[in-house]
Structure 1
Amino acid sequence: MTTADAGQPLSPVRAIFDMAWPMTLRAMMLHGIVVIDALLIAGLGEEALAAMGLAGAIGGLLLGVLLAFSQATQILVAQGFGTGQPVALKTGFWCGLIINLGAALIGLGAALVLAAPIIDGGAHTPWIGSEAKRYLAAFTIVVLAEAAGQSLSAHFNGCGETRQPFYSYLFAVPVNIVVSLVLIYGLFGFPALGVMGAALGSAVSALFRTWYLAHHLMRMNGRSLRVPGWLHGTLWCALRRHLAFSLPVAATFISAHLANSVCTLIYARLSVTDFAAMTLIQPWIQVAGTFGICWAQATGILVAQFLGRGAKGDILDHFLRQAWRGAFVASAVVAAIYLGVCLASGWIYSDLQPQTRAALMLFLPTLLLLPFPKGSNAICGNTLRAGGETIYVMHIFVWSQWLFRVPATAALVFIGAPVGWVFSLALMEELVKFPPFHLRLLKGRWKQGMS
């Protein structure tokens, strides 16, 4: 570990960096899986890509909910790790796993009822609809495997062992590519399953990743998961408290997903070139911004470990000051990447129309400023969650999205405002969240941890 026995942090920036870089690479590889699947499917034509995209939107929502629950679990595991009590680690892991499996089953049940009409309504041809349903049917294996895999990853992250989840993707991604290629195109005598083959490749990869994590967990920490007893007396009481902590985190993700979907539908009313520019820049924002977000998540995990140890306020304040300095550097790196993307857009996307490249350049002022308030807000949000204030954090996200960004986006698009103004709402939203986040953090109530 990166802390001294007395509770004083040793090089907080180094401690956060050591946790953040595996989380960053893991998140980038997670984003890259979608790109890889699309590249593998591309040889089947545009209709196959449309089928995968239609089913993938539903599957991605289910996986996102599981990831949100797992992020809550890793905070509780981190607090348990800080206490040094094996029963706390055991409770956090098993409660997280049970809740993730329950959420997966509920989500798959809802998909069984709702997915078919959604797919039929969005499919341009019967073949696209049929292939999308086959893809989603096979993707249920991915959802169930990831319910366990994300719980295992959350346990490792909460204990500060962020490299194991990264290694699991490092081994699983090549498995996904090889198996998907074989099953999509029917290589080596296997049947050619087309779009469904990509889903089965992802399923084999997810099962392999889950086995890898379970094997290493039992080898490294299996004894602590079998100790007698539960926190708060019984498993049922522990589950209720775990769920009460986790639900606001999951609700925050669902709200953000819906708000982004609504805004995308509004963006579709822009001119073709402006909408294309908005579509092109969004993946770069997700991928390049990953390091800043993972830096904040690592900060939250370490804060939760400190709170579990009963660290005093001055130790927490010193740690956060160092964390903010590192976050500033991370934000500067992200801004530099955005600058490079905009300046090189003509080379990266050589077939773009001049109007689209001009729109990308209009985004540049916002992109250069956005990482700084976003990174600082992320530090606040993850720290407050570590202290148990998940409901407060949820309110900040939900109300800034639905009372500001969504209506402001609709208003600017309706009046025909320049696309640069529309895009700047991403920065304005962070500025709206800035005061409530930072004022709440300064109050210091989160330092008491969860009762």
Structure 2
Amino acid sequence: MQSLTPSTGTILQMAWPLTLKAMMLHGIIVIDAYLVSGLGEQALAAMGLAASLGGLLLGVLFAFSSATQIRLAQAFGSGRPVALKTGFYAGIIINLVMASIGLVLVLVFGDRIIIAFAHTPDIAAQAQAYLHVFLLVVLIEAIGQCLGSFFNGCGNTKAPFYSYLIALPVNVVVSVVLIHGLYGLPELGVVGAAVGTVVAAIARTIFMGAHFFNDTRGYRDVAGWLHATLLISLKRHLKFAAPIAGTFVSMTLATNVCALIYAKMSINAFAAMTLIAPWVQVAGTFGIAWAQATGITVAQLLAKDTPSDALDEFLSRAWRMAFVAAGVVSITYLILCLASDRIYADLQDETRAALFNFLPILLVLPFPKGSNAICGQSLRAGGDTLYVMHIFIVGSWLCKVPLTVLFVVYLELPVFWVFSLFLAEELVKFPLFHLRFYSGKWKLGGKDD
């Protein structure tokens, strides 16, 4: 039975590049926030406001790329090159279409939204300038995210990780130079951070594109499509992806709606939330990456018709490791909060105090979040995507968003209670995820026939 499923060490080899890649991805945002924080709270607020809209577009791309990743993991598990070709090119086309739609919507409505939520005209102007440059990142990532999904779905999680080893230093150097106008280049302020992110995204996508072509030659030698024609394959891919995309779009939209509501708090409280959100993502990546690696493996195992008892034994081992990962994340949060005074020495005392007050929530959050992630990834791998979408809708739109409005707009509670809603959302989703997982119905899916 043991030989039918990968060992914990094998999954760890898949998970650690995912972890470091995600840390670097979110680390770019953390570094941008750190560099911009030296310009003052207003510049940081402008970046946070613009990032809420830009993050929504990237969230849509991540949604469809996650669906593509599951399809490619199933294709890899079944050993069919035509399925890999179909999944990849269908994912690329869908990503580019969705990115184009998102860009048009932001260009039409983005400035109005920023003006409505900005504290001052100066913050609005900086946020608009940052967002207009950041839109280029969205177009580039439409391709880059799908390339990453291809490598992850095939179990080669190191290639996307290596791409960020290139992107991160490129982003730092370009951002520092352009934020402060070094070496005779223009001083762009907040916009300089956006330009650095664009250049880094280009470098990352070129790196992965070259490796993809070197490994596959673009599948030019593989004839036809999995479902007769490309159009039929696109429709089937989109049908599979829609609930997964709906899940991530709903979650991302809720997150960014909350970010816009946070803008109604004091500048110090909003700055604290802007700073802590990327740290939550960066430090929490180990647990989420472990769940993602587990989901990729489950999709491959289901495509191979792995017996149910062998699958259960594998998931039992994966779950034990998930709790270890949650403990590591909690310790990381503790270290970050204790070091916040040194990391953000230029911030006002009220902003730094708010960061430290988040600690009790941060110590508990990784455990329900990590367990929910294992359930969600396994359910998606088995095709139970619609139920997962419903869980996220309940957690976000019936819990977090309305309570955020209540706490911020009507009750005007301290920022600690606003941040506690991150934990409340996970606790609401916990029984819904686990009851569905233990029903075992999801094991009957997992193939793209």
Q: Does structure 1 residue 441 correspond to structure 2 residue 437? A: yes
Q: For residue 94 of structure 1, what is the amino acid of its counterpart?
A: Y
- 1:91 and 2:89 aligned: no
Query: Is 1:251 the counterpart of 2:246 in the alignment?
Result: yes
Which residue matches 1:25? 20
The verdict on how the C-alpha distance between 1:438 and 1:234 changes in structure 2, with shifts beyond 3 A counting, is same
Residue 66 of structure 1: how far off its partner (Å)? 0.9
Query: Contact 1:363–1:423 (CA<8 Å) still a contact in 2?
Result: no
Instruction: For CA contacts below 8 A with separation 6 or more, give which structure has more relative contact order.
Output: 2
Cα contact 1:87–1:225 (8 A) shared by 2:
no
Distance in 2 separating the partners of 1:39 and 1:28: 15
AA aligned opposite 2:4: Q
The separation in 2 between residues aligned to 1:280 and 1:184, in whole angstroms, is 18
Preserved CA contact (<8 Å) 1:89 1:225:
no
CA contact (8 A) 1:359 1:419 kept: no
Deviates more, 1:59-68 or 1:219-228: 219-228
Partner of 2:71: 76
**Counterpart mapping for 1:47-86 below 5 A:** 49=44, 51-86=46-81
Matched, 1:207 2:202: yes
Distance 1:362 1:202 in 2: 28
1:157 Cα deviation after fit:
0.5
The one of 304, 325, 332 equivalent to 2:327 is 332
Deviation at 1:389, TM superposition (A): 1.4
The change in CA–CA distance for 1:123 and 1:225 in structure 2 (over 3 A counts) is farther
1:319 corresponding residue in structure 2: 314
Deviating more after overlay: 51-60 vs 147-156: 51-60
Contact conserved, 1:252 with 1:397, CA < 8 A, in 2? yes
Three-state SS of the structure 2 residue aligned to 1:233 is: coil
2:10 is equivalent to residue 15 of structure 1: yes
Amino acid corresponding to residue 436 of structure 1 in structure 2: L
Q: Equivalent residue for 2:292? A: 297
Residue 237 (structure 2) pairs with residue 237 (structure 1): no
Structure 1 CA distance for aligned equivalents of residues 271 and 193 of structure 2: 27
Which of 144, 149, 160 in structure 2 is aligned with 1:149? 144
User: Per the alignment, do residues 444 and 46 of structure 1 end up closer, same or farther by CA in structure 2, a change over 3 Å counting?
Assistant: closer
Per the TM alignment, residue 313 of structure 1 is displaced from its structure 2 partner at its CA by 1.1
Counterpart position of 1:426: 422
User: Is the Cα contact below 8 Å between 1:363 and 1:420 reproduced in 2?
Assistant: no
Gap change, CA 1:48 and 1:271, over 3 Å in 2:
closer
Question: Equivalent residue for 1:178?
Answer: 173
For the residue of structure 2 that corresponds to 1:252, the secondary structure is helix
Choose 392-401 or 120-129, whichever is displaced more: 120-129
User: Counterpart in 2 of 1:117?
Assistant: 112
Contact 1:346–1:352 (8 Å) recurs in 2 = no
1:48-69 Cα shifts (integer Å, max 9, x gaps): 5555444333222211211121
| Other-structure match for 2:374 | 379
Distance in 2, Cα, partners of 1:277 & 1:440: 36
The one-letter code sitting in structure 1 at the alignment partner of 2:150 is H
State the 1:14 CA deviation: 1.2
CA distance in 1, matches of 2:332, 2:428: 25
Distance 1:311 1:432 in 2: 32
SS of 1:36 mapped into structure 2: helix
CA contact (8 A) 1:292 1:327 kept: yes
Which is further off, 70-79 or 179-188?
A: 179-188
Out of 58-67 and 260-269, give the one that drifted further. 260-269
Kindly indicate whether residue 393 of structure 2 is the aligned counterpart of residue 401 of structure 1.
no
Quote the Cα distance in structure 2 between the aligned partners of 1:267 and 1:113. 23
**Do the aligned partners of residues 231 and 420 (structure 1) sit closer, same or farther apart at CA in structure 2, a change above 3 Å counting?**
same
Decide whether the 8 Å contact of 2:41 with 2:271 is kept in 1: no
Shift of 1:430: 2.2
Query: Could you list the per-position Cα deviations for residues 109-162 of structure 1 after superposition, in whole angstroms to 9, with x for gaps in the alignment?
Result: 111211232234345666655554444333332211111111100100001111
Letter in 2 for 1:108: L
| TM-score of the pair, normalised by structure 1 | 0.86
Q: Which has the higher mean CA deviation after the structures are superposed, 33-42 or 332-341? A: 33-42
Identical amino acids, percent of aligned pairs: 58
Query: Aligned to 1:200, what secondary structure does the other structure show?
Result: helix
Aligned ranges 1:124-163 → 2 under 5 Å: 129-163=124-158
CA deviation string 1:185-215 (max 9, x = no partner):
5555555555444433322221221111011
Contact 1:96–1:151 (CA under 8 A) maintained in structure 2: yes
Letter in 1 for 2:380: R
Q: Are 1:363 and 1:424, in contact at CA under 8 Å, matched by a contact in 2?
A: no
The 3-state SS of whatever aligns with 2:4 is coil
Is the 1:104–1:147 contact (alpha carbons within 8 Å) kept by the matching residues of 2?
yes
More deviation in 283-292 or 265-274?
265-274
CA distance in 2, matches of 1:391, 1:53: 31
Output aligned runs, 1:327-366, within 5 Å.
327-342=322-337, 357=353, 360-361=356-357, 363-364=359-360, 366=361
Q: 1:199 to 1:318 in 2, by over 3 A?
A: same
2 CA distance for matches of 1:391 and 1:189? 54
Aligned equivalents of 2:209 and 2:284: distance in 1? 30
| Letter of the structure 2 residue corresponding to residue 447 of structure 1 | K
Tell me which residue corresponds to 1:367: 362
| RMSD (Å) for aligned C-alpha atoms | 3.3
The amino acid that maps onto 1:433 is K
CA–CA distance in 2 between the matches of 1:140 and 1:249?
23
Any conservation in 2 of the 1:93–1:151 contact (CA below 8 Å)? yes
**Structure 2 residue identity aligned to 1:119:** I
Amino acid at match of 1:429: E
* Gap change, CA 1:108 and 1:432, over 3 Å in 2: same
Amino acid at match of 2:9: R
